[in-house]
Amino acid sequence: MLLTYPALAMLFDGAASALMIAAGVLSLAALLARRSGDHARVDGLALAFCIALAAPLAAVALSTLAHGHPTFPVWDSPSRFLFVIPVFLALRRASTRPLAWADLAFPIGALATLFIALFLSRDWSAGDHRIGSKFLNPIHFGDLALAFGVLSAAALNWWRKDKPWVVALKIAGLFAGLATSLLTGSRGGWIALPFVLAIVLWQRGRGKSLRWKVLAPLAIVALFAIVYGASSTVRERIDIVSANLTQYQHGHEDTSVGVRLQLYKVAVELVQEHPVLGLGGHGFRDAMDSMARQGRLTPAAAQLGKGEVHNQLLAYMTDYGIVGGLALLAIYFVPGFFFARRLKSPSPAARGAAMLGLLFAVMFFVFGLTVETFDLKGTVSIYALIVAALAGIADRANSDASNSSSF
C-alpha cells in the first residue's frame, strides 16, 4: 500500500483519502484477527504517538461541542489522524520483508508530480502561470512534490545497498520533486530545505572529521547561491517577497505577502480574545466580514481569509483555541520525538525509516507556516498515513534488531 500511495494520491482526486481509509480499515481487521498473545507490547513511546494522533479530533470535538454548534464537517480532516492508528499498530507487528520495497514509494510519487506538471497540470493563475494539479492548488502541490523529492533522496540505501537502477530512480525522484516545486513557484515550501539539510548534516556528520563538518555546510550554502543565481524563477519569487514587504511598510497591504501579514495579525488578536476554545468550527472564516467592517483588515484580505489563514497553527488556534493549538503541535512534535529516538536504533532499517519520518514531519511543520496543510482532506491523509507507516516500520525494525541482539 505504501509503495503506490504517493503516486496514486497525486494522480487521482480522492485517492489519498480513499486509500488512507482503506488502509485503516484493513489494519484494524488484521489487528482484531490476531490472538491477544500475538500482540506486540505498546510501550510509552508508541502510546504517546497514538495519543498525539487522536488529539486533533478530540480538540475539534471539544471546541465545537462547547460552542453548541458541532459543525460536523470540520471533524472530517482531524479524523484522518485517528484512522491511521491501526496502520501504525499493525505495521509494528508485520513482517519487514514486504516493507523493504516501501523506499520506492517516494521516487514514484515525485515522478508522478512531474508527470502531472508536464502533461496534466492546471494553471491556477493565468497572470503568473502558477500550475498545480486539477485538485491541488500550486502551494499544496508544490510542497508535496518537494517532500517526495527530498524523501526520495533520503531513502538511498535505506534497507540495503541500492542497486544502480534503484539509485538512478531515487536521484530522478529528487530532481523531479525539485523541478515540480520550481514549476509551481510555491516559495513557502523552499523554506523547509535549510532545515532538511541541517538534519541530514547533523545525522550524517556523526563521527566525521572537523574538516567535513566545516566544508559540508559551506558546500550547501554555495549550492543555494548557485541555484539563486542560475534560476530566474527562484530569483523572481524571492524578490517578490522583498518588494511586497516594502509595499506593506508604505501602506500597500493588498499584496501576496501583505494579505498574509494582515490575516496573521487578525488571527493573533482573535486568539487573544478567545484563548481557550477559540471561535469554534469555521470561526475565523465567519469573522472576516466583521473584521473588515471594523477596519482591522482590508476587504481583499477578508475575502481571502474566508478561504484560509495561510498558517496551520493560527488556523487551529483561532477556531479551536489553545487546546487546538497544542493538539496540532502534538501532531508534529510527538512523531518528531518518536523518530529522533529511533535514530539511535541498532537497526539500520529503523534508523532509515526514522530519518524519513523526521524529515517529513519537519517539512510539514514548515509548510504549515505559510499555508493550511490540513484544510484539504488529501494533504492531511497523505501526512497522516506516511507518518504512521514510517513510525510502524521503524518500530518493527527496531524491535527485530533488539530481539536479535538479546540472543
Residue 257 CA to residue 242 CA, distance in Å, equals 9
Q: Is the pLDDT of residue 405 over 60?
A: no
- The mean pLDDT of 25-29, rounded to a whole number, is 67
Q: Which of 87, 95, 2, 88 is nearest to 43 (CA)?
A: 88
DSSP class of residue 347 equals -
The percent of residues in the chain predicted with pLDDT above 70, rounded, is 86
Q: Which three cell numbers stand for residue 375?
A: 484544510
How far lies 372's CA from each of 41, 63, 315, in Å? 36, 19, 7
Terminal CA-CA length for the chain:
33
pLDDT for res 37: 45
pLDDT (0 to 100) of residue 160: 86
pLDDT number for residue 8: 61
Q: Is the dihedral of CA 363, 368, 372, 375 positive or negative?
A: positive
**Burial class of residue 33, CB neighbours in 10 A (0-12, 13-18, 19+):** exposed
Q: Cβ distance 130 to 117 under 8 Å?
A: no
Which residues sit opposite 131 in a β-bridge? 123
3-state secondary structure of 222: helix
- For 31-100, give the DSSP string: HHHS-GGGPPP--HHHHHHHHHHHHHHHHHHHHHHHTT---GGGGHHHHHHHHTHHHHHHHTTS-STGGG
Of residues 37 and 401, more confidently modeled: 401
Task: Select, from the ranges 303-307, 318-322, 380-384, the one with the highest average predicted confidence (pLDDT).
Answer: 318-322
Confidence grade of residue 28 (pLDDT, cut at 50, 70, 90): low
Q: Determine contact, residues 185/132, Cβ cutoff 8 Å.
A: no
**Proportion of the chain above pLDDT 90, given as a percent:** 56
As a whole number, the mean pLDDT across the chain is 86
Tell me which residue has cell 508536464.
Answer: 118
The predicted-structure confidence for 157-200, as pLDDT tens digits, reads as follows 998 899 999 999 999 999 999 999 988 878 888 899 999 998 98
CA distance 333 to 387: 12
Numbers of helices and strands, H then E, in the chain: 17, 2
The C-alpha atoms of residue 327 and residue 51 are separated, in whole angstroms, by: 10
Q: What are the pLDDT digits (tens) for 196-245?
A: 998 988 887 777 777 777 777 787 778 777 776 766 767 777 788 888 88
